[in-house]
Structure 1
Amino acid sequence: MKTKPPFKTETPRALLTVKQVAELDNCSEKTVRRAIAAGLLEAVRVGPGGRLLRIDPAAHAAYRAVSRW
C-alpha cells in the first residue's frame, strides 16, 4: 500500500524578470521598476542580498487588469 507524503507538493511556477515584463507590456524596464516601487506591481526579491526582482505571472496579470494604459 502506497502512502502519500504528509505535505502537498506543488511544482514551482516560473517567475518573470523585469526585462520580460517590460517586453510583455511593451514598455521600458524603468517603467516596470517604477510600478514596483509605487506598489502597483507586486515583486519578490531573490538572490544574494535580495538584489534581483522577480514577478509572479499572477501578479503581472492582476497589474495588467487594473492598469489599462
Structure 2
Amino acid sequence: MLKSTPKKTDQPRHLLTVKEVAELDHCSEKTVRRAIAVGLLEAVRVGPGGRLLRIDPAAHAAYRQAHRW
C-alpha cells in the first residue's frame, strides 16, 4: 500500500521589518527597536549572524492591543 505524502500547503509567513512596523504605527524605527529591546514587542533575529530583526504580524497586533495610546 502506497502512502501519499502530504502536500505542503502552508505558505511562508510574511514577517514585518522594523521599518514596516514603524510606518504602521506612525513612529520612528528607533521607537520600534526600543520596544523590542525592553521586551514589549516580540521579534525574531534572522539572516547571517542573526543581524536582522523581523516581527510576526500577530506579535505586532498583540503589542498594539496592549499598548493603545
| TM-score, normalized by the shorter chain, greater than 0.5 | yes
The TM-score bracket by the shorter chain reads 0.7 to 0.9
Which runs of no fewer than 5 residues in structure 1 stay unpaired? none
Percent identity between the aligned chains?
81
* Structure 1 vs Structure 2 CA RMSD: 2.0
Which residue of structure 2 aligns with residue 3 of structure 1?
4
Aligned partner of 1:13 in structure 2 is 13
Deviation at 1:4, TM superposition (A): 4.0
Report the TM-score, using the length of structure 1 for normalisation.
0.88
Once the two structures are superposed, the pairs formed by residues 18-57 of structure 1 within 5 Å of their partners are 18-57=18-57
Superposition misfits of 4+ residues, deviation over 6 angstroms: none
How does the TM-score come out when normalised to structure 2?
0.88
Read off the aligned partner of 2:42 and give its amino acid letter.
E
**1:28-62, CA deviations, whole angstroms, 9 ceiling, x for partnerless residues?**
00000000001000000000000000000000000
**Structure 1 Cα separation of the partners of residues 14 and 3 of structure 2:** 30
How many residues align? The count is 68
Residue 58 of structure 1 corresponds to 58
The CA distance in 2 between the partners of 1:46 and 1:33, in whole Å, is 15
